[in-house]
Amino acid sequence: MKVIYWSRTRKPHIEFALGIEYRPLESVLTESDFVVITVAATPETRHLINEERLRLMKKTAYLVNVARGDIVDTNALVKALREGWIAGAALDVFEEEPLPNTHELTRFDNVVLTPHIGSATYETRERMAEVAVRNLINILMGKRPLYLANPEVLSIRPLQALI
């Protein structure tokens, strides 16, 4: 399969290693049969996939969101599905979680919905447990935890204060 991607920062080393090609976002949307969303949730990516961008997709294309719910404008997606701009969608995340079972997205035959469990594989859960244990050990040893999301907290409350 030919894989193309868009990222806010181009990654030539990954392109070479995986044999993938970088494209501007609009090109990814117009060329792809499957658009898989994996970007981080930031103020800049909120509703990244909106009505304008959904209209760029092929009528035969599928949208897959395994990132964060607010990256896709749900109202625009419902409109796209209702009016046939795209072939379907697979969503593991939603703007409103949990997604109410009465939500319009639940009524489409061409939509697959999962309750934010895309990471529920044995391998992923095992790795999550390993990271949690490593973080606990690091903190008890006065070391910085892995993947610290808010490093500024260390200036307020040093690691030594935690043990």
Helix (H, G, I), strand (E, B) or coil at 117: coil
Q: What is the total residue count of the chain?
A: 163
CA 65/CA 73 separation, integer angstroms: 11
Tokens 């309750």, residue located: 115
Residues 6+ apart with CB under 8 A from 44: 8
Q: Alpha-carbon distance 39 to 55, whole Å?
A: 20
DSSP lists the bridge partners of residue 21 as: 4
Just list the catalytic residues.
Answer: 68, 97, 116
Query: DSSP per residue over 33-65, as a string?
Result: SEEEE-PPP-TTTTTSB-HHHHHHS-TT-EEEE
DSSP β-bridge partners for residue 111: 89
